[in-house]
Amino acid sequence: MNHFDDQTIRDLEFDFLREILWDYCAQPTAKDRMRDLCPLLDHQSLRVELQKLEEFTRMRREAVSLPAIDFEELNQEVKWLQVKDSVLSEESFARIHKASALTNEIIKAFDGLELAFPALFQLIQEIEPTQELIQAIEQVFTNKWIVKDDASDELRTIRSSIGSVRRQIAKNFAKVMKDLAGKGFLADTGEAYINERKVLAIYSTHKRKVSGVVAGSSKTGSLTYIEPEVNIQLNFELESLFDDERKEIRKILLALTNSIRHRLPLITAYQKLLTELDFIQAKCRLALDLDAQLPEISDEQVIDIKKAYHPVLFINNKRLGRATFPQSLRMDKFSRMLVISGPNAGGKSITMKTIGLLQVMLQSGLLVPVGDKSVMSLFHAVLTDIGDNQSIENQLSTYSYRLKRMRHFLNVANRKSLVLLDEFGTGSDPDLGGALAEVFFEELYNRKSFGVITTHYSNIKLKAAQLRNAINGCMLFNTDTLEPTYRFSVGHPGSSFTFEVAEINGIPKEMIEAAKTKLSEQKVMMDEILSSLQAEKTRLEDLSKSADEAGKLASTTIQDFEKKKEKFEERLARQQETIERNNKYLNHGRRMAQFIESWNLRAKNKELLDEIKKYVVVEKTKIDEERKQRSLQKKVQKNKEEKVVKQSHRDRIKIGSLVRLENTKQTGKVLEMESGQAIVAFGVFKTKLDLSKLEFIQ
């Protein structure tokens, strides 16, 4: 990488993140890739890498079923399968079996998810799910990866003979031990193993009384180990059978290797897929640690980050249980040179490093810890000059190093460059160094580069205020408590709070006052004005924040009132309906009472009874019809409302709208529209859909 050099990587502490990512990788191939991770200049390839990572991270966050990427690499297997008559080991077949089973599970997990996760689906599109390798291997091996007895007739015979010989050896050994134990020749242990042969542990004083071959003795010489004579020939026979077994197993493995050799392309595909997913999974783990996401990537040069965290600081503070302060800022073609000033230890360098490290992370294919609606773009170079960097070996002072670094910047910087300069112009005479720094600043500005500069020099702050597309910013300082707030504010330069910081650190007040007398009155006044402006801006921001909170509270209160009002009106309407229904039932009751009274007066009056029955049937029919009519009206009204809402949303869809595929969580951007249809980009995947299948988001 020509314009993302090692110094930039060190200055921005990107190595720290690479070490974490290296540790998150499971296998060597991904670890090697992570060790060399750096920004990509091929921006099309970078977008694909970011899309794959974003999809994988989304799958983990949404708990989409995906098997753990747990496997062993197949590099050696791929290598040996290319060699004629090579034989794979038992371990190799175990690795191939595991890789094949895992790949089949992954392919199954993506069934029906090709639209939701198109970039990841592309990885498995060319791999066929098959049980061929798994079945071939399982025919030969047990689940403990031992070649089965019935893998061949010859192996079955050999292992049967091995069993018989072993049983005879054990029988003979037990008989000899029993005989010698009765004679008192055996030591307490009775037996031992030497060179994988079972031998007798005999007291050395009796060794000449035992028939057999001496296999060794104890360290003290008190014990002699003897192989019983009766088993000598049997042990030789057993070794011969073991040799036959090894040869037969090799023949079986050779046959199995040859039977799967034609599947080398598939096994190579397993290796490629699983190592790629191992690489992506490691980056996903870091994204989850940082609560990172993929910002919108603009074709225009812009950095618009909201609630952004410095990743290294965030991780370290998280381990220590400390809070990390996020920063928000925007840089575009109208504010492409940002000069940050303010007190020492106030967060200037961290803010600048946050911008640089997030940019390097993004261009290395990593998600970044920023808030929603953040926008970033891609640069061809990120150039840094941060810290001391003096070199005893090369006899370079800090200032000499910085001049050498600046010469490199002048050879590289253009409108596609992001330049980060910490404590710009220091290391030399303040007046002379400040003048030269101002010239460098103007040169980088004229090249239309993007830049973030931290400085205490007033002439640099003034130059930023004069240039049309440059802007001042500062780290805020609490003038009441005399402590930094670590909050960034854009729009005006900040005071260095030199005397206030000195007072915090215990410098006597009389010395501070004496120092003020050494300065010109204008300089002191300027610093006081900056301090006052900053304090006023802080106060106004606090007031604005309070006003916003009050506005939000008022809005919430109004919404609660409207909801309660709506519920009250619904309640009143239900009560009114109940009253009317009860009145109707009362009227019916009165009429029924009249019928009953009339019936009592005219017992057995058949005509009256028929009239009552007829009335009851008619009234019941009316009630049933009213119920059906109300139910039908509610359904019609609900359908009308749903159609109006859906049509309203679809009418709002236009080119550039953010939409969601109906009944899914997949979101995309509308690129073209015609005849009730739209072409929508879901990440790098584009498709043509009816507007009726889309839901408007924004």
The residue-averaged pLDDT of 66-93 equals 94
**Does residue 348 surpass a pLDDT of 90?**
no
Last residue of a domain, one of 465, 483, 518: 518
Which of the four pLDDT bands, split at 50, 70 and 90, describes residue 298? very high
- Domain membership of residue 391 (yes or no) is yes
112: number of Cβ within 10 Å:
7
- Domain membership of residue 574 (yes or no) is no
Which of the four pLDDT bands, split at 50, 70 and 90, describes residue 664? confident
The number of folded domains in the chain is 4
**pLDDT attached to residue 501:** 61
- Domain membership of residue 311 (yes or no) is yes
- Domain membership of residue 545 (yes or no) is no
**Does residue 268 surpass a pLDDT of 90?**
yes
b/e per residue 201-235 (b: at least 16 CB within 10 A): bbbeebbeebebeebebeeeeebbbbbbebbeebb
Number of H helices, E strands in the chain: 20, 19
Q: What's the mean per-residue pLDDT of the chain? A: 83
385: number of Cβ within 10 Å:
22
CATH number at residue 180: 1.10.1420
Per-residue CA distances from 299 to 47, 50, 382, 452 (Å): 12, 15, 17, 20
Shared domain check, 414 and 304? yes
* Least-confidence region, from 21-30, 188-197, 489-498: 489-498
Shared domain check, 116 and 58? yes
Last residue of a domain, one of 518, 540, 569: 518
Residue with the two structure tokens 């400040």: 434
Shared domain check, 103 and 222? no
CATH number at residue 394: 3.40.50.300
**pLDDT attached to residue 139:** 96
**Does residue 388 surpass a pLDDT of 60?**
no
Angle between helices 398-412 and 430-446 (to 10 degrees): 10
**pLDDT attached to residue 399:** 67
Rounded to whole angstroms, the Cα distance separating 231 from 173 reads 7
Per-residue CA distances from 369 to 170, 295, 362, 396 (Å): 69, 9, 10, 37
**Does residue 395 surpass a pLDDT of 50?**
no
Q: Write down the H helix ranges in 413-508.
A: 430-446, 458-466, 498-504
**Does residue 534 surpass a pLDDT of 60?**
no
Q: Which residues have CB under 8 Å from 41's CB, separation 6+?
A: 1, 380
Candidates 104, 102, 101, 124; CA nearest to 55 is 124
Shared domain check, 279 and 349? no
The residue-averaged pLDDT of 176-204 equals 86
What global pTM score does this model have? Answer: 0.69
Residue 449 sits in which domain range?
A: 296-518
**pLDDT attached to residue 165:** 95
**pLDDT attached to residue 598:** 64
- Domain membership of residue 277 (yes or no) is yes
Shared domain check, 338 and 215? no
Shared domain check, 183 and 119? no
Angle between helices 153-183 and 229-260 (to 10 degrees): 160
Shared domain check, 306 and 262? no
Shared domain check, 183 and 261? no
- Domain membership of residue 304 (yes or no) is yes
- Domain membership of residue 436 (yes or no) is yes
**Per-residue pLDDT reduced to its tens digit, 201-231:** 888 888 888 888 888 888 888 899 988 999 8
CATH number at residue 281: 1.10.1420.10
**Does residue 502 surpass a pLDDT of 50?**
yes
380: number of Cβ within 10 Å:
17
Per the model's pLDDT, the better-predicted residue between 541 and 278 turns out to be 278
Per the model's pLDDT, the better-predicted residue between 506 and 50 turns out to be 50
**pLDDT attached to residue 480:** 57
Per the model's pLDDT, the better-predicted residue between 695 and 610 turns out to be 695
Q: What is the DSSP letter of 396?
A: B
Shared domain check, 485 and 457? yes
**pLDDT attached to residue 672:** 84
**pLDDT attached to residue 104:** 96
Q: Work out the burial of residue 323: count CB atoms within 10 Å of its CB; fewer than 13 is exposed, 13-18 middle, 19 or more buried.
A: exposed
**Per-residue pLDDT reduced to its tens digit, 49-78:** 999 999 999 999 998 889 999 999 999 999
Shared domain check, 466 and 375? yes
Last residue of a domain, one of 457, 490, 518: 518
Which of the four pLDDT bands, split at 50, 70 and 90, describes residue 680? confident
**Per-residue pLDDT reduced to its tens digit, 119-153:** 999 999 989 899 999 999 999 999 999 999 999 99
Shared domain check, 440 and 339? yes
Shared domain check, 145 and 155? no
Candidates 102, 95, 104, 103; CA nearest to 73 is 95
**pLDDT attached to residue 634:** 74
Helix (H) or strand (E) holding 187: strand 186-194
Helix (H) or strand (E) holding 213: strand 212-217
Helix (H) or strand (E) holding 308: strand 303-308
Which of the four pLDDT bands, split at 50, 70 and 90, describes residue 463? confident
Specify whether the CB–CB gap between 397 and 427 falls below 8 A: yes
- Domain membership of residue 578 (yes or no) is no
* Least-confidence region, from 59-68, 585-594, 614-623: 585-594
The residue-averaged pLDDT of 537-552 equals 66
